[in-house]
Amino acid sequence: MRSFRQKEIIDILERERVINTAATAQQFGVSIETIRRDLDQLEKQGILRKTYGGAELCSKTPVLPAPLESRRAAEHSAKVALALRAAEYVPDNCTVTLDAGSTVQELCRYLREKSGLIVITVDIHSAAELLYQGSGQNKVYMIGGFLTPDGTASGTYAKEFLNSISGVDIFLTSTDGASPEEGLSTDETYINELKRRYIKKAKKRIAMVDHSKFMRKGFYRMCDFSDIDVVITDSQTPPEIIEKLRRMGTVVDVVSVPGT
């Protein structure tokens, strides 16, 4: 409920630019103290600025996630390097669940060279990559449901499909933001719910996190790094972050990026 309420608060701010604490508390049927805590959290994320009796939207806040094509182009070399290394963790004849995202789409180009895989995805672009010039030796399950503008399925149907699965061998995920202290985070609430379910289902969880993701934080918290078995990142990630993760007990696999 807190995540939903905060997303609604952002929607109100985008429309009206300002928000009144007392009126918002009445609208959501919660206490003023609860709304103040919401505003405190959103202010820490740089989304709004608290004012007397309410808050105003920060004028340069990028509330919505970047378009798909922009994300594909950003840090492309690093994403390819991470995807290539992640594919090495996937043996033939296993069951794999995939997150959505541009890094995962790069990974699919390498997974289609394997055989005997059962691959479960919610992303139409990933499914297309798996099928395009594939060996024909893998099974691809596309989970249905409501499609986001990026072509990712979510909602009741996706959850029901996951509930019918006894378990999977490997979950491979990317992320919108990361920090050693606060873990992995995403920008989409429905996708975030599916990721949490994947984590519970999988025997092994692998996160592909390029260096740029450590410079930002998504709106919704996904999990701690302790919930991930292997973090694959690139050599441009600050050494102090890598060392901090390793001191926390996280296995960090660092890959080199050509040309850097």
What would the pLDDT profile of 248-260 be if each residue is shown by its tens digit? Answer: 999 999 999 876 6
Going by pLDDT thresholds of 50, 70 and 90, the confidence category of residue 77 is: confident
Task: State the pLDDT at residue 133.
Answer: 64
39/166 Cα distance (integer angstroms): 40
Better-scored residue on pLDDT, 2 or 6 = 6
Q: What's residue 225's pLDDT?
A: 95
- For the stretch 130-183, pLDDT in tens is 887 666 789 999 887 777 777 887 766 777 888 888 889 999 999 989 999 989
- Tell me the pLDDT band of 63, cut-offs 50, 70 and 90: very low
pLDDT recorded at residue 260: 62
Counting Cα atoms < 13 Å in the Cβ hemisphere of 93 gives 0
Q: What integer pLDDT is reported at residue 134 of this predicted model?
A: 64
Q: What is the pLDDT of residue 72?
A: 52
Mean pLDDT, to the nearest integer, of 14-43? 88
- Residue with the bigger pLDDT between 246 and 49: it is 246
Q: What would the mean pLDDT of 59-80 be, rounded to a whole number? A: 59
Cα–Cα distance, 257 to 113 (Å, whole number)? 22
The yes-or-no verdict on residue 108 having pLDDT over 50 is yes
